Amino acid sequence: MSQRAAGRQAGIQTPLQECGPSAPLPADRVLGSGAVLFPGVFDQHGCPLVIFPADGQDRLLELSKAEVVDFINYFHALFNRKYEKQSLVSVVVDLRNASPPTPKFIMESLLLVQEHKRTIHSVYLIQPKKKDVVKPLLKLLNLSMSCSASFKTILLREIPELWNYIDRSQLPASLGGYFLYCHRSWVSFIKEIHAFVQEFLSVVQRLPSCISTLQALSRLPLPSSFSELQYFCCTNEAKFLQLRRELGLDELLKTL
């Protein structure tokens, strides 16, 4: 099985292009929390899904809204660069067992995402079971609809209603789907790819200078005597090895 195929089974989509130095990888505490996910699945509009799972909501409230916004923006930008297109994301929020602060935290985070530029296509909300959570949620939905940074919001009473908008092959088991997702594997994969990309960019930045040095060496006249030729080869081999160290090829290969 190829690495790409194996990655898909773990809920991984290979990011072929990075987000650039202006977009650092989200912090370990955010990636590892499992409170917000970007597993590489899609709704019926073809929008990649951001998922707020029910079992991560205690950890979600330990994060800041800014961290949630940065997470969504990072992976949204990564997706767009990989596929070389501008796609919106859709969001699935499982509020079945949510506590009162959770819907407010999530909705305000999503509004912050949308405030900068239009990023979110649709938000699928699975209705809370607790009545003291439902009423504040409805007020939040009315508020979001009145904002200029609005997005389409779909309130669902039960999980099966979600399947009208997202194929079950694109949903994890917690949402009644068949998609195999391992969060630990996803985090490990993302961090490995990020490390490789950063090392690759570092090599690319140093490459022009190294090429210029090699071109200068190639134009040197060859010595006429054997002893001078030995010295010439020894000296230039040392320069070549120094260039290799400066370029960082060995470090890059270690990340493969």
37-60 pLDDT, tens digit each: 999 999 999 999 999 999 999 899
Q: Confirm if 65 and 112 have CB atoms less than 8 A apart.
A: yes
The whole-angstrom separation of Cα 66 and Cα 48 is 21
- Sorting pLDDT into bands at 50, 70 and 90, what band is 2? very low
pLDDT, tens digit, 9 for 90 and up, residues 17-31? 434 445 788 999 999
Strand 89-94 versus strand 152-156 pairing type:
unpaired
What is the pLDDT at residue 6?
Answer: 42
Q: Which residues of 24-159 form beta strands (DSSP E)?
A: 49-52, 89-94, 120-126, 152-156
- Sorting pLDDT into bands at 50, 70 and 90, what band is 210? confident
DSSP letter at 11? Answer: T
Whether the per-residue pLDDT at 86 is higher than 60: the answer is yes
Q: Confirm if 65 and 97 have CB atoms less than 8 A apart.
A: no
- Sorting pLDDT into bands at 50, 70 and 90, what band is 240? confident
What is the pLDDT at residue 18?
Answer: 38
Among 30-34, 129-133, 156-160, the minimum mean pLDDT is found in: 129-133
What is the pLDDT at residue 185?
Answer: 92
Q: Locate tokens 């079945």: which residue?
A: 96
Q: Locate tokens 């090699």: which residue?
A: 214
Coil, strand or helix at 131: helix
Q: Which residues contact 234 (CB under 8 A, 6 or more apart)?
A: none
The whole-angstrom separation of Cα 112 and Cα 65 is 8
- Which among 36, 128, 107, 42 is positioned nearest to 74, based on CA atoms? 36
- Helices 101-116 and 131-146: angle between axes, nearest 10 degrees: 20
Copy the structure tokens of residue 116. 């900068």
Mean pLDDT of the chain: 81
| CA angle, residues 62, 150, 175, in degrees to nearest 5 | 55
The whole-angstrom separation of Cα 92 and Cα 161 is 12
Query: Rounded to 10 degrees, what is the CA torsion of 154, 159, 164, 167?
Result: 120
Q: Confirm if 60 and 35 have CB atoms less than 8 A apart.
A: yes
- CA 145 → CA 77, 105, 118, 162, 167, distances in Å? 25, 17, 14, 21, 26
The number of residues making up the chain comes to 256
- Sorting pLDDT into bands at 50, 70 and 90, what band is 65? very high
